[in-house]
């Protein structure tokens, strides 16, 4: 129960760190409360709606009642399983826009501009273009993380890209390459028909080394002596023990649990810790603050032809899909079905995309409940850079209690304006000629929901989290009181302690968070090892030349 490095959390970043640190010859212990990821519910990409709704694999967090969403409590799934949230997510792979990382750098995360992080994105990837074109100069081809594309066999999937072009938007072969803006094929962390989670990519190879091991236990707090982290107190098979770290403790427990563990360890807002009788080790007001997420709506259309995936939404259909996957890793079950997408700017004067579309060739909720109308299709749409901020705080000083999660969604008037624009722009895309053979009528919001007030009512009732929480241990300059970690992810005020997961994001990235979370694990591991940082790559991303004057 001792190693050079103790990592709390076998999720996206934690697995990457275990792989790189053990590869460098360091001894590593990974602490993970969740269990095995074996079985078809996790490994079959098409079964993605199951694991995030199963207590066995999910921490089961919910927000506090959201005052701007009618008091609704929104679910906040986080992976409680080997691979963390990469084992229960939608497998969508989005690096984010280059400008996101330049913003990080400009806000105090020195060394985290796009030129700095691009080499780590390339290092982690093994990219397969699937015959759909792409941008090989911007991609990696020998990393642990396989990234592929679906076959786009469904005509609705292809119609979405065509409709984007007909509406006057750019088309892009590779939104993870030089040009994010536009419509094109989606990347997914799927390989040979299997979910390629951080556990499959990084942890299993690491555990085959003699210097890396996994401890199944629930972390209680970081043990700090004389201002230095020396280990982690865990609850293991009913007994409290301390896992000792000879060099460093690294928290990679998610944007929900990493700030919780810091606060339980005495690192956080002093007054809040005192309320719960916790001795203050380091007064860091930013711990738990700066909470961000993406909200999204499902704009659903009924289909006039039986071309959607609804034909499998019955017992015989699901059995057929399952059998095809089980015996050949093929068929609809071998894809997450998010195979086409779009990134657009909401208005003239917006420099780079601030709206993302996930297209799905079925009208269905994330919990697997199909629309009553039967055959249909939908776009998940939402703004990427909301200014609303929330906070994670302690419910009590007991590690067994869930933290208090307040996202404070839609607390700024600009959020409402941006969401209304999302709905209207999506409707315009669905009205294009490419969808004419398949379009019947709008399921939701519905044709009678048109005015600003009507749209606001729909948003208030139906907006859902895209499950991208981040920012709660913000990275920044050491003299910034709201910073929690410095630009090498070291906790400010405590030695030999780092945080490496999506909680250190200064601002949410433009897209899904799994890829940037893994990148954080890769880059922080390089900082820990302390030599051989990859040299920056000064690749210039495409920016719409008329962005100041036109929306598309």
Catalytic residue numbers read: 468
254 close to 85: Cβ distance less than 8 angstroms = yes
Burial class (CB in 10 A: 0-12, 13-18, 19+), 448: exposed
Measured distance CA(552)–CA(544) in Å, rounded = 8
In this structure, the number of other CB atoms found within 10 A of the CB of residue 272 comes to 17
**Residue 81 among known ligand-binding residues:** yes
Evaluate the omega torsion of the peptide bond into residue 79 and state whether it is cis, within 30 degrees of 0.
no
Buried/exposed code over 156-177 (b: 16+ C-beta within 10 A; e: otherwise)? bbbbbbbbbebbebbebebbbb
Question: Quick count: other Cβ atoms within 10 Å of Cβ 422?
Answer: 26
Strand boundaries in 399-541, DSSP class E: 404-406, 439-444, 464-465, 497-499
Residue 91 among known ligand-binding residues = yes
Bridging pattern class, strands 75-76 and 61-62: antiparallel
Check the annotation: does 408 bind a ligand. no
First and final C-alpha spacing in the chain: 57
Contacts 24+ apart (CB under 8 A), 36-43: 36/81, 36/82, 37/81, 37/82, 37/83, 37/87, 37/197, 37/199, 40/322, 40/325, 40/326, 42/81, 42/83, 42/87, 42/88, 42/195, 42/197, 43/194, 43/195
Establish whether 92 is an annotated binding residue: yes
User: What's the rounded Cα separation, in Å, for the pair 128 and 147?
Assistant: 6
User: Rounded CA gap, 198 and 11, in Å?
Assistant: 7
**Rounded distance between C-alpha atoms, residue 73 and residue 63, angstroms:** 5
Q: Which residue has the tokens 């060739």?
A: 361
Q: Which two tokens stand for residue 266?
A: 């005495």
| 514 known member of a binding site | no
Which residues does the annotation place in the binding site for FAD? 81, 89-92
Which residues does the annotation place in the binding site? 81, 89-92
């Amino acid at each position: 129960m001792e190693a050079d490095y103790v990592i709390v959390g076998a999720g996206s970043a934690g697995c990457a760190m275990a792989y790189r640190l053990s590869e460098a010859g360091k001894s590593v212990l990974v602490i993970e409360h969740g269990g095995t990821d074996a079985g078809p519910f996790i490994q079959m990409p098409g079964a993605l709606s199951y694991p995030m709704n199963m207590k066995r694999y999910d921490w089961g967090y919910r927000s506090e009642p959201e005052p701007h969403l009618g008091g609704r409590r929104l679910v906040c799934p986080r992976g409680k399983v080997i691979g963390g949230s990469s084992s229960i997510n939608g497998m969508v792979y989005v690096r984010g826009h280059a400008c996101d990382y330049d913003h990080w750098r400009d806000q105090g995360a020195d060394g985290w501009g796009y030129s700095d992080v691009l080499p780590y994105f390339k290092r982690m990837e093994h990219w397969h273009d699937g015959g759909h074109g792409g941008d090989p100069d911007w991609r990696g081809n020998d990393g642990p993380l396989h990234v592929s594309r679906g076959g786009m066999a469904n005509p609705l999937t292809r119609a979405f890209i065509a409709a984007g072009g007909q509406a006057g938007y750019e088309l892009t072969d590779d939104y993870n390459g030089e040009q994010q803006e536009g419509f094109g094929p989606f990347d997914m962390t799927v390989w040979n028909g299997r979910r390629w989670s951080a556990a499959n990519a990084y942890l299993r190879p690491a555990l085959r080394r003699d210097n890396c091991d996994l401890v199944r236990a629930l972390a209680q707090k970081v043990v700090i002596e004389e201002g230095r982290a020396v280990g982690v107190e865990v609850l293991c098979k009913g007994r409290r023990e301390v896992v000792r770290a000879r060099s460093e403790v690294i928290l990679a427990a998610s944007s929900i649990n990493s700030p919780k563990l810091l606060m339980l360890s005495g690192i956080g807002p002093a007054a809040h810790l005192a309320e719960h009788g916790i001795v203050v080790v380091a007064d860091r007001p930013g711990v738990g603050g700066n909470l961000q997420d993406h909200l999204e709506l499902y704009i659903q259309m009924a289909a006039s032809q039986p071309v959607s995936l609804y034909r499998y939404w019955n017992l015989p259909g699901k059995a057929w899909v399952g059998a095809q996957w089980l015996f050949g890793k093929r068929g609809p079950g071998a894809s997450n079905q998010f195979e086409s997408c779009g990134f657009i700017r909401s208005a003239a004067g917006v420099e780079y995309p601030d709206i993302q579309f996930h297209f799905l060739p079925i009208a269905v909720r994330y919990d697997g409940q199909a629309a009553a109308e039967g055959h249909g299709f939908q776009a998940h749409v939402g703004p990427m850079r909301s200014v609303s901020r929330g906070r994670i705080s302690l419910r009590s000083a007991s590690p067994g209690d869930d933290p208090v999660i307040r996202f404070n969604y839609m607390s700024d008037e600009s959020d409402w304006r941006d969401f209304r624009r999302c709905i209207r722009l999506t409707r315009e895309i669905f009205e294009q000629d490419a969808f004419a053979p398949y379009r019947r009528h709008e399921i939701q919001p519905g044709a009678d929901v048109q005015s600003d007030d009507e749209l606001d009512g729909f948003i208030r009732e139906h907006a859902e989290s895209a499950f991208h929480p981040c920012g709660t241990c913000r990275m920044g300059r050491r003299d910034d009181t709201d910073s929690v970690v410095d630009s090498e992810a070291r906790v400010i005020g405590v030695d030999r302690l780092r945080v490496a997961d999506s909680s250190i994001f200064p601002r949410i990235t433009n897209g899904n968070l799994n890829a940037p979370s893994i990148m954080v694990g890769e880059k922080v591991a390089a900082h820990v090892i302390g030599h051989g940082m990859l040299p920056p790559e000064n690749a210039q991303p495409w920016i719409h030349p008329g962005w100041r004057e036109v929306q598309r």
